[in-house]
Amino acid sequence: MADLAAESMLRDAAMVVGKDLRLEWRSRVTLSQILPFALLVLILFAFALDPDRRILEEATPGLFWLAVLFSMLLAIQRAYAVETTDGVIDALRLSDLDPAGIFLGKAAGIGLHLLVLEVVLFIGVTVLYGATPHGGLLVVVTMLLATAGLAAAGSLYGVLAAGLRVRDTLLPILMLPVVAPVLIAGTEAFSAAYANSSGDGWKWCGLLAAFSVLYLAIGIFAFEPLLEES
């Protein structure tokens, strides 16, 4: 019985993420708007922090994750903008999809977008800031765990703000303090990888993993009532 419920939850999640990816394939909003924005942020950081004084290279881990957080806000707003127009959210409520499945699907969709953003940003900081990482495995694991946490929290807060007239201004104030631990842990883990001392970085991955599990769990339970009210 529990297996069946979990199976239908995952099937619903796959349907939602498939729909979101198809939407992105047709509209290319992430590709043509959010991705250029992320690169723009990297260039703006260079204007703010003198590129000749090696500040950029030293600050690369933090700047990378800051750029991810800013782009994440846009990705979440986009993920729920497609749900709130034309009464889609009512259709979603009536669709008999498992709310936990919808949550996981939205989170997976946001997560996949974020991963693409992160890969491009990573190439960006490597080329533009001249920062070369050493611990490749640590970098990859950090990215995956942080993305899971950001996507879970984002999917949760996205539905909370969706449907409100002030959602664009409310989402950052609700989300950024919550994901501050991800910024800290992601930055520290990357710093360790760049400094070629991966050992220090792994415990930050533990924090990222705990954060992701916690927000996935909260989302699975809290998404249904939030969806009803959005």
Partner 1 sequence: MTSPSSDTGAGILRLHPDGTASRGSRILGIVVLVSVVVFLYVALVASAPDKSLDAQGQLVRIMYLHVPSAIACYTAFFVTAVASGMYLWKRTMGWDALAASSAEIGVLFVALTLLTGSIWGHTTWGTWWEWDPRLTSTALMFVLYLGYLALRRAVLDPTSRAKQSAILGIIAFVNVPIVHYSVDWWRSLHQTATVASLDPQIDGLRLFALMFGMVVAMLLYVWLMMHRFRLAFAEAALEAKGLDLALAERRAEARADGGTVPPSVKTEGAS
Q: Which is nearer to partner 1, 23 or 210 (CB)?
A: 210
Residues 6+ apart with CB under 8 A from 182: 65, 69, 146, 149, 150, 153, 208, 211
Q: Is residue 120 exposed (0-12), middle (13-18) or buried (19+ Cβ within 10 Å)?
A: middle
For position 91 contacting partner 1 by CB under 8 A, the verdict is no
Question: What single string gives the DSSP state of each residue in 54-85?
Answer: THHHHHHHHHHHHHHHHHHHHHHHHHHHHHHG
Give the torsion sign (CA, 156, 160, 164, 168): negative
Task: Report the alpha-carbon distance of residue 225 to residue 230 in Å, rounded.
Answer: 9
Instruction: Pick the stretch among 16-24, 37-45, 126-134, 165-173 that binds partner 1 (CB under 8 A).
Output: 165-173
- Binding-residue pattern over the window 111 to 150 for partner 1, x denoting contact by CB under 8 A: ----------------------------------------
Residue 170: helix, strand or coil by DSSP? helix
* Choice from 1, 53, 94, 165 touching partner 1 (CB under 8 A): 165
Report the nearest approach of partner 1 to the CB of residue 50 (Å): 23
Residues 17, 8: Cα–Cα separation, whole Å: 14
Q: Which stretch binds partner 1 (CB under 8 A): 38-46, 54-62, 127-135, 166-174?
A: 166-174
Q: Among residue numbers 168 through 207, which ones bind partner 1 (CB under 8 A)?
A: 170, 173-174, 176-178, 180-181, 184-185, 188, 207
Residues that bind partner 1 (CB under 8 A): 156, 160, 163-166, 170, 173-174, 176-178, 180-181, 184-185, 188, 207, 210-211, 214, 218, 222, 225-226, 228-230
